[in-house]
Amino acid sequence: MIDPEQLANDIAGNVAVLAFPALLWALLYFLAWDHGPFATSIGFGRRTFWLLLPGALLASLVLLPVVPVGGDWVAISFSGALFPILVALFAFGRFAPPGVRSAGTYLVALAVEAAVLLLIVVDVPAATPQLVGVLAVAVGAPLALAGVAAGRSDRLVGVVALALGLTSAVLVVTFLTSIAVPGTGIEETFPAYLLSPIVVGVIAAGAAEWVFPGAEGFALPVAYGAGTFGVLVGADVLRQPPLYAAGTPVGLYAIGGAGVLDLVYLSGLLALGAAYVTHRALGRGYAPIGAPIPPSAPTPIARLGRAFRAGVQGRIDESLAESAGASRDAAVQAHRLLAIPDPPADRPWQGLTVPGWVVSDEANLEAAARAGSSDGREGFRAFLTARWLVLLGREIGLRRFGSIGARVAAFFLDLVIVTAPAVALWVYLIDVTPGSLATLAANVPINAAIYGYAAGAFLYFALFEHYAGRTPGKAALAIAVRDRRMDRPPIAAALLRNTSKLPTLTVAGIGLAIALLFLLRAGTSGTLSAVGGIPIPVGVFDFLGVLGFVLGGIGLLGAVGVLGILLSAERQRFGDLVAGTWVVRTTRPRAAATPPPPGATGR
């Protein structure tokens, strides 16, 4: 017999699971674009949006094996857990600087609390004593940390204690409302999983006036971190032990394995959303808070577009100012790309080998911007002049950008470097694992090695680019990754620019592993096929077919990346565009003059 109440609850739960990601993404987009400086100041600017939305979607099949437990493997999903965790940790640098110390203190305290709680859950099977122990530790841990903060008069530790307290609240509620299903995973029913992140978001924003006076917006990242880590410990850590009980099927258990539909991913965003709505309801503003952040200036071409739009809308003074600014920024950008010191503010093209008309046209632009005008013809002439100057600066800068050939060659060299040890590991596991082809395809260690390939390769690219500015492949081709200030990219930018490589790495990892399975196991089945009278094992045909698919997939995805580089103004693929990075030659080219286009000196 159908239970109408249960049926209605199931339908509402399915609708919520499908609707919440879209609604929360819309909220994150609104925050990052409509309140950009404020969102950046709390750690949820546009880079965070790109990492949590397209980055997480592209990483849906990427798992990083962490530890074996009996016959099982525990892994962490990039999309459902690792990216949200990193976003929460990066935010510590904004609301509790310095971030390294505050995030480290938080992680150590949370790890100790989680370890004690796990011991209680494992050693105390009776429900009531177990619950009492969990509550005692969850309340005592943040209070103990708060006592340390009070004894030392350390405000940073006090803020961390608050974050730990909110995390513990989410942790307890999540633990009480979740269950472990051996062979399936951890489940939490609707609407119970909404309770803790939403309530914590409201509490964090409501208490922000006392905790962060004058900077109440910091409640948003605190709520996000509490929601993310609370569910991580309350469900994925404390509810894991029953999954490994004797007699249950072995498997690869992934923390955040449901990707963007996982509660580790969604809970942080739910808490952020609740804190944002509360912040807005209390009438608080959106001025940037915390330590000043250098403004992210638009590119010269983007600024030129703003000049055109302002002119079309009749704001001629603004159009003149943006035209002059676009030209000036193009000159400064060319200086940075050529490793020439920044020029004087009133002579931006000084130090570059450019025709004389450039200096005079720049002077005319600056004079027109200072004088202002309401004449649309004046604004349009200024726009045309700025356009030629921006194109000239772009041509000068293009000589510094790495060529497509060098970038492609560097990528394939890096791909060989990260794939060779993976292939050796796959071959070893296939060789020592008994059973049929189907048995090997379901083998947990083999699957852990396959899914872990894309994770390891991604970290190879991101960490080399952050710490060294280039991978070994890029070093061999004399190119490097730089941000718009020509510095090594920060860790968030390095992670973000490499998310666009994840589909290629996923195809390479899964495809090559399957090809090796066919080659090394199907080829020994004894079934032969003759080609030109020469007997060839069937496994070889399967291997070549899958290998062709892998190479075709890599080639197609690579072609999309190359097309993006060709179509972008600054030789950037998608990852570079959203991360704000360039791929440049490590040697500085000569700044040769570019002849003016016809009609460029019309002023």
- For residue range 329-383, list pLDDT tens digits in order: 999 999 999 988 888 888 899 888 888 889 889 999 999 999 888 888 899 999 9
**Burial of 411 (C-beta count, 10 Å sphere; 0-12/13-18/19+):** buried
- On whether both 220 and 194 belong to a single domain, the answer is yes
Calculate the alpha carbon distances from 254 to 202, 310, 415, 446, 517 in Å: 30, 51, 25, 15, 23
Distance CA 603, CA 601 (A): 6
- On whether both 475 and 358 belong to a single domain, the answer is no
pLDDT at 227: 96
Question: What b-and-e string marks burial along 217-245, b requiring 16 or more CB atoms within 10 Å of the CB?
Answer: bbbbbbbbbbbbbbbbbbbbbbbbeebbe
What value does the mean pLDDT of the chain take? 88
- On whether both 102 and 177 belong to a single domain, the answer is yes
Domains identified in the chain, total number: 3
pLDDT at 497: 96
Q: Which strand ranges, in their side-by-side order, compose the sheet holding 63-69?
A: 63-69, 72-77, 252-255
Number of H-type helices and E-type strands within the chain: 23, 9
pLDDT at 276: 96
Distance CA 120, CA 122 (A): 5
Q: Which residues contact 20 (CB under 8 A, 6 or more apart)?
A: 266, 269, 270
* Least confident range of 35-49, 532-546, 579-593: 532-546
In degrees, rounded to 5, the angle at the alpha carbon of residue 258 between the alpha carbons of residues 202 and 72 is 120
pLDDT at 160: 96
- On whether both 227 and 152 belong to a single domain, the answer is yes
Return the structure tokens found at 72. Answer: 């099982």
* Other CB atoms within 10 Å distance of the CB of residue 413: 16
Confidence of residue 598 (pLDDT cuts 50, 70, 90): very low
Determine the structural domain holding residue 382 and report its residue range: 300-398
Confidence of residue 538 (pLDDT cuts 50, 70, 90): low
Question: Percent of the chain beyond pLDDT 90?
Answer: 67
Query: Taking 80 as the threshold, does the pLDDT of residue 185 lie above it?
Result: no
- On whether both 143 and 273 belong to a single domain, the answer is yes
- On whether both 484 and 541 belong to a single domain, the answer is yes
Confidence of residue 294 (pLDDT cuts 50, 70, 90): confident
CA atoms within 13 A on the CB side of 94: 27
Q: Which residues contact 269 (CB under 8 A, 6 or more apart)?
A: 20, 24, 27, 28, 52, 224, 227
Q: What is the pLDDT of residues 414-453, one digit of tens each?
A: 999 999 999 999 999 999 998 888 888 888 899 999 999 9
- On whether both 155 and 193 belong to a single domain, the answer is yes
Query: Taking 90 as the threshold, does the pLDDT of residue 192 lie above it?
Result: no
Position 286 in a domain: no
pLDDT at 222: 97
Position 226 in a domain: yes
Q: Considering Cα of 235, then 53, then 298, then 217, what sign does the dihedral take?
A: negative
Chain centroid, CA 64 distance in Å? 15
Query: Taking 50 as the threshold, does the pLDDT of residue 595 lie above it?
Result: no
Query: Taking 70 as the threshold, does the pLDDT of residue 591 lie above it?
Result: no
Position 594 in a domain: no
pLDDT at 146: 94
Confidence of residue 601 (pLDDT cuts 50, 70, 90): very low
- Pinpoint the alpha helices (H) of 399-443: 404-432, 437-441
Q: Which residues contact 383 (CB under 8 A, 6 or more apart)?
A: 304, 307, 308, 311, 319, 323
515 near 550, Cβ under 8 Å? Answer: yes
Position 603 in a domain: no
Q: What is the pLDDT of residues 229-259, one digit of tens each?
A: 999 999 989 987 777 665 555 678 889 988 9
Range list of β-strands (E), 321-382: none
Q: Which residues contact 302 (CB under 8 A, 6 or more apart)?
A: none
Position 595 in a domain: no
Position 593 in a domain: no
pLDDT at 247: 54
- On whether both 518 and 391 belong to a single domain, the answer is no
